[in-house]
Chain A
Amino acid sequence: MEPKEYKSSIIERRKEVLSSLQNFGLKIYEQLDRGYFPSIDMPSRSTENIYYDPKFRQFILGDKRVRRSARNIRHLKPFAQLVWTALFSYELTSQRKTSTLRDVYYSAQAYEMTFKDQQESNNIITDLETVLGFSREDFNIFPEERSAVFGDLTIRYTVPGYEGKTLNLTSHPDGVMIGPALTSAEFVKTTADKVIAIEKGGLFTRFIEENVHKKFNALLVLTAGQAPRATRHFIRRLNRELGLPVYIFTDGDPWGMHIAMVIISGSANAAHLRDLTTPDAKWSGVWATDIVKYKLPTDPLDEIDMKRLYELQKDPRYKEDPLWQREIKTFMKIKRKAEQEAFSRYGLTYIVDEYLPAKLEETK
């Protein structure tokens, strides 16, 4: 894709976010000005209103809506908190400053809009996401970051002080943290033709050391466990904007499998949001069938692992592709699990030399 196009997408999106925040304020202002108790409607996030949509290949919210009204004494405080959060987000976004969930919780106290606890402020932020249909990262509110990216991709920053500066993501051997600055950066150019997402830091470092990015012409993304939303959004952009296929490598257990699934199809918690999923991404391993095929050293699946497998078996996201059901059944049959590091029994480079090329080919 054209670099120019990438640029406009980031800037356009910020404009959209700002104007939707402003419209939200205007709507409330006008209701007040006409002498009405202001109220807003938003889709209900209760479990009975969360559906899996096979078309979008993610969870979405149904038609049920809830109304928050300032006439209702119980809604009044959350309503004020919501408007404050919108104002705070507007100021962040327009001044191009970022903030963490924790910051929001503390900043509120300066406005005498105290939240009872972090959970309460997180809920209000989710409300704002639901009302406006943008995710908190769009309002420059980020959770604590721990995921990273490495590979031949040149980005151009849009954050204040770095505007226009470019960076090649191979420039730091530990990788570059996927934080607010990177998330809001434009993609300039890349030679990579695929993305490999990795669950664990140890393997991510091994791949860099073993030049996986060069050997396989790949961008490496460390999800560090369950991928944060910013990382999921980033992977989606790599897929959509650069047209790169995405391969996900996790531990061979129900939890690793689900890390891949959330990158592909999203989570129920984010049913009110779009643009966090990468439906075409592939889970490349470690599969249950790989455990058998490669005779990996294993641990037994415990009770909680088994319970999780039964839950996943019924989950609509796992009914999309027969691969999932096949792997779940295999796990249930062998009752064993294996970590990515298990390949080390065949030598430290086996995973890069043998397993990786085979799996990339298999899940192409």
Chain B
Amino acid sequence: MAQVTFEEISASDFFYRNRDIAGFTNPTRAIFAAIRELVENSLDAAESLKIPPEIYVRLSFEGEASKETQIYKLRVEDNGCGVPPRHIPSAFGQVLFGSKYKLKQQRGTFGLGGKMAILYGQITTHQPATIISSTGMSHIYMYRLMIDIQRNRPIILDRKVLLNKEGWRGTIVEFSLEGDYLRAMPKILEYFKQTAMVNPYANLTFVDPKGRLYKFTRATTVMPDPPKETLPHPYGVDVELLQRLIQVTPYNNMLEFLKNHFHRVGEITARKFLEFSGISPSKNPKKLSHEEIVRLMHMLKKFKEFLPPDASCLSPLGEELLKTGVLKELKPEFVAVHQRKPATYAGHPFIVEVAIAYGGEIPQKGGFLIYRFANKIPLLYDEASDVSVKVINDMNWRRYKVTPDMPIAIVVHICSTKVPYKTVGKEFIADRPEVRREIANGLREVARQLQRFLTRREHVDRERKRLGVFSKYLPRIAEFSTKLAGKDKPPDIEKLLRSVRRFGAEGV
């Protein structure tokens, strides 16, 4: 009989063995994913201080790795909040260590992406990563690190402390990795363009291995309010969470328990709920039996009068910024944006924002251009599986006088404390009925606005054409009839032309 051995593997080891699920599938995807993870961390770092992000990305060629792959050095600089020196080794050299486990909307979710990139670089090139960071205080800290994969620990190879004379604040990450830039290039450039669209307050600079400079300049310095941390919403709790809350709560009656551990539950709502569920307000939560906890969870889900989660834990772009971003990157003739009210799926608040853009520089390609975003991240892969694509395809566009041959771009942005991704790779959003409904309603609203625009434009066009016909032919009729009648002076037709204009469209 063979001996079965159980072996505990570290988180680093786990992701090393399963790097596919984090998006580092092949040299092309890997280089795209590395850039993307680091840029997203940088955006989060700047936004947490409500500072317009200033991000510089440089990818430089180091040498051939194989016939198809090359070694590149990736450098990402930001003006974000910086990492406190004592956290730097762990933040960059230990998988699943990070600041992203609380309930608020951020781009990254698992504290995984940036470290996966560094880990991938180390695996493919055996080179250490360099981290330079300052929180803007008196010193700048520089670390050279590697990750001890089996023990999931950072190995510090070098550490320097420099005087921060100019008061610099931000983080610089630099490491080498293997990749295939030529293949990845279209997606990387598309990524920057779309990132610039939903972060119109960010300056993005990218220098590629050929030395080409891509610059995406901010169109505004207005930024959305940063998200706040929040309590769980009653609709989103499960038995496990309830038990944990009961364990840690300092309160010994149900009224205070509900008021203090749940999102948007106040005195009145708590009392109404307790009456609805037949639980005494003075009951000590720690005395609840297991059956009572299960019942409590069901009652929480059944009670209709909880207020919906407020959006304070979310940081949507807002209609103005979304419009700015779309105008900046797509340069359309017309854009309509709409932000839905906050909604929830399984107790997680989310907000859907949509935009529809028409004409201008949007190409006519026999179908809509679809831009998908989640927490201000562009989603570039697996478009066909995404819920918004399904909603768009199911919509009856003809009702809005919209046909696929029109130059139209559709933007769908979902922000949530927990975006319902289908995969760790964060490529597409799962088909949740709540999410689907919000997207559909949002699209209907902007489609209506587009329809109004198209109708109005059609009307103006028709009027312009009508006027054109009158001002072309009336003078001719006057000229010919003058000659035919043998008169010297043509009749005055200004009055007639004016009368045509008076009935015509304004502004023509």
- The interface of chain A, by Cβ under 8 A from chain B, is 21-22, 24-26, 28-29, 32-33, 35-38, 70, 73, 76-77, 79-80, 83-84, 86-87, 90, 113
Contact = CB atoms under 8 A, between A and B. Distances in A.
Given A32-B478, A35-B496, A87 B473 contact: no
Given A29-B478, A76-B469, 12 more contacts: A22-B486, A25-B483, A26-B484, A28-B485, A32-B481, A32-B493, A76-B470, A76-B473, A80-B476, A83-B476, A86-B484, A87-B484
Which secondary structure dominates chain A's binding surface? helix
A84 B473 CA distance: 11
B346 interface: no
A82 to B, nearest CB: 9
Contacts of B478: 29, 32
Contacts of A87: 480-481, 483-484
Q: Shortest 4 CB-CB distances between A and B: which pairs?
A: A25-B484, A33-B491, A32-B491, A28-B481
B482 A29 contact: yes
A332 to B, nearest CB: 53
Contact of A86 (B470, B476, B480): B480
A335 B3 CA distance: 108
28 contacts: A22-B485, A24-B484, A25-B484, A26-B481, A26-B485, A28-B477, A28-B485, A29-B478, A29-B484, A29-B485, A29-B491, A32-B478, A32-B493, A32-B496, A35-B492, A35-B495, A38-B481, A70-B473, A73-B469, A76-B469, A76-B470, A76-B473, A79-B477, A80-B476, A80-B480, A84-B476, A84-B480, A87-B483
Interface in B451-507: 466, 469-470, 473-474, 476-478, 480-487, 491-493, 495-496
Contacts of A113: 476
Given A29-B485, A76-B473, A37 B496 contact: yes
Given A73-B466, A73-B470, A25 B496 contact: no
A315 to B, nearest CB: 39
Nearest to B483: A87
Contacts of B491: 29, 32-33
Contacts of B486: 22, 25
Contacts of B469: 73, 76-77
Contacts of B466: 73
Residue among B469, B473, B493 with the most chain A CB within 10 A? B473
A113 B475 CA distance: 12
A118 to B, nearest CB: 21
Contacts of A90: 484
Contacts of B496: 32, 35-37
Contact of B477 (A21, A26, A32, A33): A32
A107 to B, nearest CB: 13
A21 B473 contact: no
A76 to B, nearest CB: 5
A188 B404 CA distance: 75
Contacts of A76: 469-470, 473-474
A80 to B, nearest CB: 4
